[in-house]
Structure formats: C-alpha cells, structure tokens
Amino acid sequence: MKAMKIAVITGASSGMGLEFAKAIDREERLDELWLIARREDRLRELAKTLRSRCRILALDLSKPESFEEYSAALESEKPLVSTLCNVAGFGRFALFEETPMEANLGMVDVNIKALTAMTQLTLPYMKRGSRVINLDSLSAFQPVPYECVYGATKAYVLSFSRALNVELEPRGIRVMAVSPGWVKTEFFDHAVSDNGAVTYYDKVWEPEQVVERAMRDYKKGKDVSVLGSGVRRQVFLVKHLPHKLVMRVWMKQQGHANRPPVD
C-alpha cells in the first residue's frame, strides 16, 4: 500500500508559518498537510483556504508531551513526509537580566529543542527528494546585544541546518535555513519590550516576500536563503569584520552607544 504523502508545518497559525503553508500547498500535490500550532481556531481558518486536506495538530511545542503526540501520529499513519517546515519560535528584545527566566528558557525550548525534536522524529519518514526548511534569522550571523538569547538560538539553527544538510546528502534529503532580516509578523507583538531596547529597523519585509525568495533559493540548491541585497551585504560584512566592531555598530544604531551603566 502506497504511503500517504504529507507536508508538516510548525508555527502555521500566522506569519511565516502561514505563508509557508500556502506556498507548499500551491507547490506540492499532497494527501494531507499537517498544520501545527497552539491556536487551533487559526489553523482551522487557514485550512479552509488550502486545496490540500489538512490535519490540525494543536500542539504547544514548548511541552515535551507534544512530541509524543506527534510521534504517535507518525507511527500510526506511517506517511511519506515530503517537507518539514520548522517555523515555530519566538524572541524577546531586552536586557538579558531584565527578561524573565521563563522567557529566556522558553526561547531555547521552542527555537532549539522543538526544532531539533521535530526534525529527528520526522527524518525516518523521509526519503530521497524530501526536504527540511528551518526558519532562521539574520541574527544567526552575529552576536546581538539585547537579543542575546534569541540570536544564540538562531545561530544554532543555522549551524545545525547547514551541517545536517551535508549529513543527509547521501540520502538525497536537503536542509535549508531561511535567514531573513526584519519581517512584518506577530513576532514583533511578543518580541518588542517597552524599554526601548530595539528601536531601529532599517527595512521590514512582508512574509510573502521571504517565503517566495526561500522557495526560489531552494530550487537553486542553496542551503541558506537570505532576502534582499542589503541583508546579503550585511551577512558578508559580519563574516569578515571583528564582532566587537559589529556589535558596536549595532548598539549605535539602537541608540545605546552611550547608555549609562546599570547601578
């Protein structure tokens, strides 16, 4: 009996996850599209707009029991997963010591542990031609004060994705990290604090633009997708400049170059 062909998208209830769900639905002929996020109502609204039959998995990926439920669903259906799109994640823009430990550890849980778990659970159900797309960030390429935990989690995603892409090459499975700059999504509603830690945004992209570029870059065989010539130039520069200088420029942009010390 032929295995059911599916794609899996985490963080599908809004923003980048929602746009990736739409793009993958347009691009692939699927038996089912598995949509994962905490907000079941949002997932059901999205499902109404897609041509694929959708399976709604209302999971909170910060909780270990969510992986048990996802693993059980895979074991029950034994599908062929053509695409895993890891989009779920969040950030906080603030001083590390002013950010609740729950939020700091939550970023590690969702941005790193959940992405790693979802990938490891899904790989046994992939075959040659399958792909993993991980939402990363421009923050992955440099240390970012006032985003120190978020940026560090994204550095993990970038390194993990590129190394895993090489490991999976013999199996014909590709992994690509999508590393955008600022994107207009609900991310800002949760990330921006009222202490003015991050206030300068040079250019803000629409999620549709990032996803469109990512899908094109994947077809070109890239392992990292970066939208915008200015963003790509920044990535090039931070690879070659001392990080102390890069962080000094960032602090000046955000108006913290002369920030008084904390008593």
Q: Which residues are catalytic?
A: 150
- Could you tell me the end-to-end alpha-carbon distance of the chain, in angstroms, rounded to an integer? 68
Residue 122, classed as helix, strand or coil, is helix
Give me 263's structure tokens: 């008593």
For residue 32, the cross-strand partners are: 6
Q: Are 51 and 76 in contact (CB under 8 A)?
A: no
Q: How far is CA 62 from the centre of its chain?
A: 14
Buried b (16+ CB within 10 A) or exposed e, 18-36: bbbbbbbbeeeebbbbbbb
**CA nearest to 28, candidates 77, 82, 79:** 82
